[in-house]
A and B are shown apart, each in its own frame.
Chain A
Amino acid sequence: MADHRPVPPAHPVAGLIAFASSIIDGAAYTRYARPGIRAAAEPGAAVLAYEAVGTVCQSNNVLLDVAARHHDLEALVLVEEHVAIDDPELCAKVRAAFRDPDVAVAGWMGAAGVRSLAWWEGRISCGPVVVRYDQHGGGVLPAHAWTETDAPPASVDAVDGRLMALSPWAVRNLRFDEALSLGYGYDLDFCLQARAAGRKVQTAAFRAVHHHSLELIADRELWVEGHIQIAEKWNGSLLGGGAAEGDWKARARRAEAERDAARTLAYSSATLLDAHVEPLERELEAMTTSGSWRATAPLRALNRLRRRES
Chain B
Amino acid sequence: MIAFGCSITKPEVFRRCAEPGLRRAAEPDSEVYARAATGPIARSYNALLDAAAERTDLEALVLVHQDAEIVDADLCATIRACLSDPDVGVVGCCGAIGVRSIAWWEASVTLASFVNRYDDHGGGDLESFSWRWEEAPPYAQTGEVETLDGFVLALSPWAVRNVRFDEALGAFHGYDLDYCLQVREAGRKVMTADFRAIHHRPLEMVPDPEEWIAAHIAVAEKWDGRMPGIGTAAGDWHDRALRAEAERDLALAIAHTKQLEMQARRREAERALAETRGSISWRITAPFRRRTRSPA
Contact = CB atoms under 8 A, between A and B. Distances in A.
B248 A266 contact: no
Contacts of A303: 280
Interface in B242-296: 242-273, 276-277, 279-282, 284-285, 288-289, 292
A284 B116 CA distance: 25
B15 to A, nearest CB: 25
A258 interface: yes
A263 B103 contact: yes
Contact of A296 (B216, B255, B261, B281): B281
Contacts of A260: 101-103, 106, 216
B240 interface: yes
Interface string A114-132: 0011101100000000010
B20 interface: no
B205 A252 contact: no
Interface stretch (A43-51, A81-89, A134-142, A160-168): A134-142
A117 B250 CA distance: 10
Interface in B205-222: 205-206, 209, 212-214, 216-217, 220-221
Interface residues of A, number: 77
A61 B152 CA distance: 60
A217 B248 CA distance: 13
Q: Is the interface of A mostly helix, strand, loop or mixed?
A: helix
Contact of A261 (B122, B206, B253, B276): B206
B81 interface: no
Given A117-B246, A146-B256, A277-B269, A292 B251 contact: no
A267 B105 contact: yes
Given A214-B261, A279-B122, A255 B251 contact: no
Interface stretch (B50-58, B163-171, B184-192, B230-238): B230-238
B103 A264 contact: yes
A253 B205 CA distance: 21
A136 B281 contact: no
A136 B263 CA distance: 10
In the A-B complex, list the 5 residue pairs whose CB atoms are closest, starting with the nearest. Answer: A296-B281, A292-B285, A227-B246, A262-B251, A255-B244
9 contacts: A118-B252, A137-B268, A141-B260, A224-B247, A251-B241, A252-B233, A259-B251, A279-B122, A293-B281
